[in-house]
Chains A and B, each alone.
Chain A
Amino acid sequence: MSELVYEGKGVIVHIKGPVVEAEGMRGAKIREVVYVGEEKLIGEIVRIEGDKAIIQVYEPTGGVKAGEPVERTGEPLSAELGPGLLGQVLDGLGRPLEVIAEKAGGPFITRGIKAPTLPRDKKWKWTPLVKPGDDVIAGDVLGTVPEGSVTHKIMLPPTIEKAKVIEVLPEGDYTIEEPVVVVEHIGGKEEVKMYHKWPVRTPRPFREKLAPVELLVTGQRVIDTFFPIVKGGTSAVPGGFGTGKTVTLHQISKWADADVVVYVGCGERGNEMTDLLHTFPKLVDPKSGRPLLDRSVLIANTSNMPVPAREASIFMGITYAEYYRDMGLHVVLTADSTSRWAEALRELSSRLEEIPSERGYPAYLPDYIASFYERAGRIKVQGRRDELGSVAVIGAVSPSGGDLNEPVTQHTMRYVGAFWALDKDLAFKRHFPSINWLRSFSKYTGGLREWWIKNTGHDMMAYRDKAMALLQRASSLEEVARVVGEAALSDENRLVLLSAELIKEGFLVQNAFHEVDTYCSPKKQALLLKTLLEFYDRARPMIDAGVPISRISEMKSLGLLRRLKFVPEEDFENAVKEAIAQLEAEISSLLAEVR
């Protein structure tokens, strides 16, 4: 007699918030997606006890009763991967928000809506790259379609190891549901469409992981110069509320020299997503000349949307990022905020009555954080191509009370290559980005000297070290000044403070909302820092000659230097020359006065 292994339907016995218990679930798998209740709410099995399944439901469960059915799908939570992702705004489960609005018939999100991620009726211009008889392996490119600002490669999915092509549709316009290629493999014939599904919690395969070495230019001076991130690297941005995490992530998704950007708004504000939706269609990507939205996937699972879907949203996002990486593209994923994601985990864990560890988080929090950041990297793609792709991951962290000693920040710190610690005191002063130069780090600086020399002609890492030394000296002098007053310091020391102040105002402070200052090219960064550093060297002899510091700090050229950053790229070199000329003139006249 055969054993019944798939009943397909269970029955709810208990509902407590987003956690639902169902019986009659024998044969169900952990992480399987189920439809819960009469309204078929989307859920995922998180625990199995005999024929009982514990389900985390991704939609509000108000009104659901014991006795209602639970329907199994047999599939894990998956992302749809194919053309049509770019330019989309999705919720944490990959449903397009526009389609949700249409189906809900209004601006409020209702329950039980099913909406596939990729449009089914849209036609894509298919160019085949294989012909019948070709042998192909997983990752090989079967053909391409243009999508947004990229050439979208349709690849043999990782699930088919190797096969022979037996049919190929000719060049033309097709929907994603049409099988563009038919292949034959050990298992038999298989139709390959322009899209496939991939379980979001499983990293996508690649041939080899490589060390990341190339600067990811963000156009943000304090980042690129002082605490850089590389293509395929990882970074965390911790900071209390209002310190500038979101603005930093927005800036990176706008300006980073990436091919594709995935922005995950996870448990944050609705209006911040709206802000992106307003600006992305208007801003032009200098690389492709197309609106930024054409290179972006936006995921919006805001703080008032169901908490469990927050947990899913990050995995959904990283899966999209890996998919474009597999095409040989450079991808940046920004997640705001990973703390809300960890809190979703904590909430689930506490509802499952697991034993809490630090601050109520489950003991597996570190593994969980690692499982996300480890999916970043620079890799050799699958298939017979010599192509490299990368995913850089940048996560905001929102420590409670702004205290960086809490578990999420601490565990994140262990897995990231760069750490941009935002500082409340700097933010209060409106020193933005409020990245604290003494508490932040980047492990990538070592490999970047060559990059700067090659791309800007400047040994930027040497400038960086010099500027850092100056800032550190100033910081210990400030400690002293806080006790005895600046007036009590020697003029020499006060010159150090003045020069450090110039680096802060003239270089570190960067206004995201100023039309010029919002982006600063590496070339401009290098020349600017070099110029500002010259101030100290040139002013130092004046101190020895006896020029009082009060006269030095009144020099008009200081004002010019402080505002150099606002000069557009095309006029910049001239402006630097003028500022230096004026500085020299003022110095000579001051020196003449004391002689």
Chain B
Amino acid sequence: MSVYGLTYKGIDQVKGPLVIMRGVPGAAYEEVVRIYSEDGREWFGQVLEAGRDKVVIQVLGDTEGLDSNAMVKFTGSTLKIPVSDEMLGRVFNGAGEPIDGGPKIRADDYRDINGAPINPAKRDYPDEFIETGISAIDGMLSLIRGQKLPIFSESGLPHNEVAAQVARQAVVPGKAERFSIVFAAVGLKYDDVLFFRRQFEEFGALSRSVLFLNLANDPVIERITTPRVALTAAEYLAFDLGMDVLVIITDMTNYCEALRELSSAREEVPSRKGYPGYMYSDLASIYERAGRIIGRPGSITFMPILTMPGGDLTHPIPDLTGYITEGQIFLDLDLHNRGIYPPINVLPSLSRLMKDGIGPGKTREDHKEVSDQLYAAYSQGTKARELVQIVGEAGLSPREKLYLEFARRFEREFVAQGFRERRSIEETLDIAWDILSILPEAELTRISEKTLNKFHPKRRIAAQAEGE
């Protein structure tokens, strides 16, 4: 027996965001319910536990005003949103309802917001370079079409600017079409939303964007649905309509906090720092929706933003995210304070898909080696810088001094660039060679003889001289 379509009056208990009912034997697990109070207010909920004797419903939105006289209608369906190309250019709330004053969208289909796992055998391996025009990213953390690459940040750092710059500049070389953008705000301040909106407007992307907004003062529980709703829209655009979609979701930290709140309302045994033990799997069910599929032209490239509480990389939120995503772009307070924009610290950053997306025919043959060498040398440079704190610059060996100088130039010339500056990958690599050439060749152990001959500025000059 199902209770689909049936409406029950009376609930037993309201406990935070949870409603408990008895005597509803046929409720389906994860079924969506609508709840009406006597004074005509309406709530949305979902069955969390479906028992013959007891049903637990998780309510979206504030449960204040809900009492035992409420009516509960069972819809017989899991949470679905309508999808079609009419989503483009529109603004929705975290439950997928339009909030821009426009009409409801035409529904070509209704999709479950949880999606379904992509069959790993049907994934297409992401191996196409996206040029973002940002040197630190293109040169050392290359973004690949279909990758999930988060920005790890802290409050006060320009992560919004970096994400907006990527959205504005990203192109797949050789492809005329620009990325469509699915943007989701999770528990964000209105100012931040406004910033993104203005940016999209300014570079003419609004008509190829879909916005999902859950603001700081919107229901906390809707933060759980917002990323899922946004990715459901993205999946439709990418895998049904064939678009390359860039998904930006910010701030995933607010999402995780909502998850923790919900978990504690359910009285679950917490894991680290009060976050639920299943947070890894829960986040994976969101992040793994990025990618490419064999035989379908579109893609989802996913750039979530999260702020690390206390700048701590080992905090459960960045930690679990890093275990799922294909790398991370790490923004650094110290670089920011020294006036470097974008303040990307490449050392704790990583792009796991870079290896197959760069090199001859894709970017340039020296790309991989140059990148490896930059990492090694910059890490020496930062070590030397730490030493300066202790023994002063005078206490450094000549080699350490050289690396110190390298780190300085690397940050000021390679990493730093304008918010509106777009560098081609060739320009990026040329800058890298310029800086690397201050080091003796014996130090360039990550670069092969062949590559040195072809690209090292000094050898190039020598070769030219010989040629003349």
Contacts and interface: CB of A to CB of B under 8 A. Distances in A.
Interface of A: 13-17, 21, 61-67, 89, 97-98, 100-101, 104, 106-110, 240-242, 265, 267, 269-271, 273-275, 277-278, 300, 302-305, 307, 340, 343, 346-347, 350, 356, 359-360, 398, 400-403, 428-430, 482-488, 505, 511, 513, 550, 553-556, 558-559, 562-563, 566
B190 to A, nearest CB: 32
Given A107-B294, A109-B116, A398-B323, A242 B268 contact: no
23 contacts: A14-B49, A16-B50, A66-B25, A66-B27, A67-B1, A106-B122, A107-B293, A108-B116, A108-B119, A109-B116, A267-B280, A271-B123, A274-B125, A300-B121, A302-B120, A350-B268, A359-B271, A482-B386, A484-B390, A485-B397, A488-B395, A559-B445, A562-B445
Given A107-B122, A553-B399, A350 B277 contact: yes
Contacts of B38: none
A270 B115 CA distance: 15
A22 to B, nearest CB: 11
B339 interface: no
Contacts of A343: 277-278, 280-281
Interface of B: 1-2, 25-31, 48-54, 78, 112, 114-126, 239, 268-272, 277-278, 280-281, 284-285, 288-289, 291, 293-294, 296, 314-316, 319-320, 322-324, 326-328, 347-348, 350, 352-353, 355-356, 368, 372, 375-376, 379, 386-387, 390-391, 395-400, 440-442, 445, 448-449
A340 B112 CA distance: 26
Contacts of B445: 505, 559, 562-563
A400 B272 contact: yes
Contacts of B319: 240-241, 400-402
A563 B451 CA distance: 13
Nearest to A21: B51
Contact of B375 (A271, A429, A562): A429
A242 B327 contact: yes
B181 to A, nearest CB: 22
A184 to B, nearest CB: 43
Contact of A307 (B125, B278, B315, B328): B278
Contacts of B50: 14-16, 64-66
A504 B440 CA distance: 19
Given A64-B50, A350-B269, A302 B117 contact: yes
Given A356-B269, A429-B375, A62 B126 contact: no
Given A304-B285, A487-B400, A62 B114 contact: yes
Contacts of A350: 268-269, 277
B29 A64 contact: yes
Q: Which 7 A-B pairs have the closest CB atoms?
A: A303-B284, A107-B122, A241-B322, A97-B121, A304-B288, A62-B30, A401-B314
Given A304-B285, A307-B281, 12 more contacts: A17-B29, A65-B2, A89-B121, A98-B121, A109-B117, A109-B119, A242-B350, A270-B120, A278-B125, A307-B278, A562-B445, A566-B448
Contacts, number: 241
A483 B390 CA distance: 7
B326 A271 contact: yes
A13 B49 CA distance: 11
A269 B316 contact: no
A65 B27 CA distance: 6
Contacts of A274: 120, 123-125
B54 to A, nearest CB: 8
A108 B123 CA distance: 10
Given A65-B29, A241-B319, A484-B391, A14 B51 contact: yes
A287 B229 CA distance: 50
Nearest to A300: B120
Contact of A559 (B54, B387, B442): B442
Given A67-B26, A360-B269, A429 B379 contact: yes
